[in-house]
Structure 1
């Protein structure tokens, strides 16, 4: 440590550099995420399950979509050991190589007409590969960014990593909208849909070099070590920080559930149950993502003024109210859909902008790095992984109001988790 610290002290460790790496990394991950999600609605049901009804094919596609979230915690376990043995640079290169190769292979996937059920099996394997890679791609940069945040600016630095979600959605939605509009339907379903998966690989390469430039530099290696951001064994972390990890996973449940209720689920509902062109709805989702981007930025000011947990608590209450209005709006034609998306994305931005690491202070500094990775994995699994599948299944069986009650349950879980986190923190003090 002594030979590293002087070298690190001679450099200017700039939060802006960390922010750039964080935004590029998260944007690439969310672009991958939305490319697969959009294809799960528009492409995979017909490609893999042509013998099923459109609804059943979409439900099976959403089940495959959920596999990445199930696999992600296993990726964290595997790559934590790689990190401890070989360092973050090796971990990131291997994880992002796995992510990129899985994504490219999806773009080369044959359909049911060529290889039968093996097409769905291959997609399952590749989706699991993506999930394991996403668990391994955790680089700790959001935690490092939070450490460097000045007093009174915690909310601002907390929202920076979240900007990647709307950026990824905007690019993915516009790219798919362009391809659908520009190509004949037969060409799009034959080869046009594959192009976004190849673009995702290219973006991952750029993001990899941007993140490695930060992670492998001597000054940042020193910061990881001196700031207790080194990986710790997963089992030991779960034993010592289990209660906080569970609360941390449920604290952002409302915003993560809303994340899919305003992105993936409505696209499937419109595609299945209306005659509306997917191009219009994808363009509308891109516009909604712009609103969400502005709301994420606004969340920083609100969090720094009123507190992050207070914002999340009252945001959860706002999501609870929206859960009752959302089914009515989504079923009210073009005007209702527009209000649903713009209002939903604004509410999502305010909550999602502060959902990362909201209760990280519960963790002992030496275990914060691994605990935060586990919280992220479990929050996405519980809050988002099965959200499109559950919302579409419930809505198809009982009507759109059932999806509203699903979202309401997430809001209640968030408010309870934040309440118990406050009690746990007070007990520790």
Structure 2
């Protein structure tokens, strides 16, 4: 314990330039990785159904496309388990280099992948395989990136600084959405479907080079270094995390579910709903997601900093109540068909979701001790992602098609937010407190 206390003091004394370097490296690396991730999500909503799962029934093609997207989330806990094991035993830094490299290579490979018309069944099989590797990479990315900042940050600034990892999500989404929007404006539908959709994937070449360089310059977590020097590292981190903090894992999963379910509804399923159900041009909803992501660039760090001032629980409560209210207005706004009101519907939802996402990284990390923090954080967040978002676009498509009403899916989202509300009630306040040893 004395070693951990000592390194915590050292972390507080760390020069501002060193801390800024850690935050910048984590933010850039995570932004680049989420860019790759959202490029796949947007392509799933817009083109993969036609190119890799063609058929007479457009609904079936869309469902198959979203199933592949969901598989990438289903395997994320496995990636989290693997990364958590190595991250708790050997260090956070090397895990982050591997995850970013794997994501970049897969994204480039998808950009040159032949379609079903060219390779038959081999094309969707390879797409699924690449998506699974992407899911494993992202599963290990988030926990490591969060810990590199949380374990460097002063106690009273962890919410603000850790939110910069969350900031990477709207940055990645903004870049991916903006690129697809630009291509949609410049290219005809035929050109976009033929080759234009490949450009965002192929741009990962530059992303891979920049990201790998940034990650190679990251300084290892001081808390892990202190643990390493003490010789007190966990030999079976996941087993120890489950035995020592099962309640923290369950509560952390609950904190994630509502945020994940609503975010992917606002930022991803809206693409399918507006284009397929309403018959509107994809640029309308791409602009809406772009606006929402731009607002999150400000609001996610704001919410993280707010949680340092008023507490994680109060900030989260604002997010749960505001998002629940907006969920009820979301589809009525989309159904107006007005580009302005569609933008309000999508962007408004992402505004309230920011108050869930901003404090999330710090709060979850603060629930676990240093020996098992990587494993605990990774499995909790990734299981929350599976339960909250893996099937959300698929469930939305099915429920709305089978019932003929969007209200059935609204109830689903409200249930997800209710789970998060219960988790908030039963999770202790951790803002401003020292990390566990």
TM-score for the superposition, normalised by structure 1: 0.89
Matched, 1:25 2:29: yes
Contact 2:319 2:355 in 1 (8 A): yes
State the match for 1:191 in structure 2. Answer: 195
- The equivalent residue for 1:36 is 40
Q: Is 1:41–1:271's contact at 8 Å kept on the other side of the alignment? A: no
Gap change, CA 1:93 and 1:352, over 3 Å in 2: closer
Query: Residue 286 of structure 1: CA displacement?
Result: 0.7
Query: Could you tell me how far apart the structure 2 residues matched to 1:86 and 1:154 are?
Result: 24
Measure how far apart 1:71 and its partner are. Answer: 1.2
- 1:300 offset after TM fit, Å? 3.3
User: In the alignment, which residue of structure 1 is the partner of 2:214?
Assistant: 210
Matched, 1:286 2:321: no
Q: 1:401 is matched with which residue?
A: 407
1:176 aligned residue = 180
Whether the aligned pair in 2 keeps the contact of 1:270 and 1:276 (CA below 8 Å) is yes
- Pick aligned residue for 1:419 from 419, 425, 428: 425
**What residue in structure 2 maps to residue 108 of structure 1?**
112
- Post-superposition Cα deviations, 1:354-395, rounded to whole Å, max 9, x if no partner, equal 122424333233222221121221121122222111122212
**d(CA) in 1 for partners of 2:79, 2:263:** 23
In the other structure, the counterpart of 2:433 is: none
Match of 2:344 in 1: 339
Say whether the 8 Å CA contact 1:313–1:414 is kept in structure 2.
no
SS at match of 2:39: helix
CA distance 1:12–1:345, change in 2 (3 Å):
same
Cα displacement (A) at 1:90: 4.5
Q: What is the correspondence of 1:202-351 to structure 2 with a 5 Å cutoff?
A: 202-215=206-219, 220=220, 222-226=222-226, 233-334=237-338, 335-351=340-356
The answer to whether the aligner puts 1:391 opposite 2:396 as a matched pair is: yes
In 2, the alpha carbon distance for the partners of 1:47 and 1:181 equals 20
- Structure 1 residue 173 displacement after superposition: 0.8
Counterpart contact for 1:253–1:410, Cα < 8 Å: yes
Structure-1 separation of matches of 2:257 and 2:326? 15
Within the alignment, does 1:94 sit opposite 2:98 as a pair?
A: yes
Relative to structure 1, the CA distance from residue 279 to residue 139 in structure 2 (aligned partners, 3 Å threshold; closer, same or farther) is same
Task: State the SS of the aligned residue for 2:154.
Answer: coil
90-99 vs 19-28, which moves further: 90-99
In 2, Cα distance between the equivalents of 1:125 and 1:234?
26
For 1:340 and 1:144, how far apart are their aligned partners in 2? 35
1:246 Cα offset (Å)? 1.7
Q: Which runs of 5+ in 2 are unaligned?
A: 431-435
Q: Does 1:130 align with 2:134?
A: yes
Q: Distance in 2 between matches of 1:147 and 1:73?
A: 22
Match of 1:77 in 2: 81
Q: Does the residue aligned with 1:333 lie in a helix, a strand or coil?
A: coil
Structure-1 separation of matches of 2:85 and 2:428: 32
Contact kept, 8 Å, 1:167 with 1:289, in 2: the verdict is yes
- Structure 1 pair 165/333, CA: closer, same or farther in 2 (3 Å)? same
> Aligned-pair distance for 1:85?
7.0
Matches within 5 A, 1:136-175: 136-138=140-142, 140-175=144-179
Partner residue in 1 for 2:62: 58
Counterparts of 1:129 and 1:141, CA distance in 2: 18
The answer to whether the Cα contact below 8 Å between 2:237 and 2:371 also exists between their aligned partners in 1 is no
CA distance in 2, matches of 1:188, 1:173: 14
Give the alignment partner of residue 364 of structure 1, picking from 345, 359, 369.
Answer: 369
Spell out, residue by residue over 1:99-151, the C-alpha distance to the aligned partner (whole angstroms, 9 max, x if none): 22221111122122122222221111111111112223356342242244335
Matched, 1:200 2:204: yes
Using structure 2 for the length normalisation, give the TM-score.
0.87
Deviation at 1:287, TM superposition (A): 1.4
Quote the offset at 1:86 in angstroms. Answer: 6.1
**Contact 1:308/1:358 (<8 A) preserved:** yes
Indicate conservation of the 8 Å contact 2:257/2:388, yes or no: yes
Q: Residue 262 of structure 1 contacts residue 344 of structure 1 at CA under 8 Å; is this kept in 2?
A: yes
Shift of 1:224: 2.3
Whole-angstrom distance in 2 between the partners of 1:420 and 1:397: 36
SS of equivalent to 1:339: helix
Q: What are the Cα deviations for residues 56-115 of structure 1, in whole angstroms up to 9, with x where unaligned?
A: 211111110011111112123334455567655543443333222221111122122122
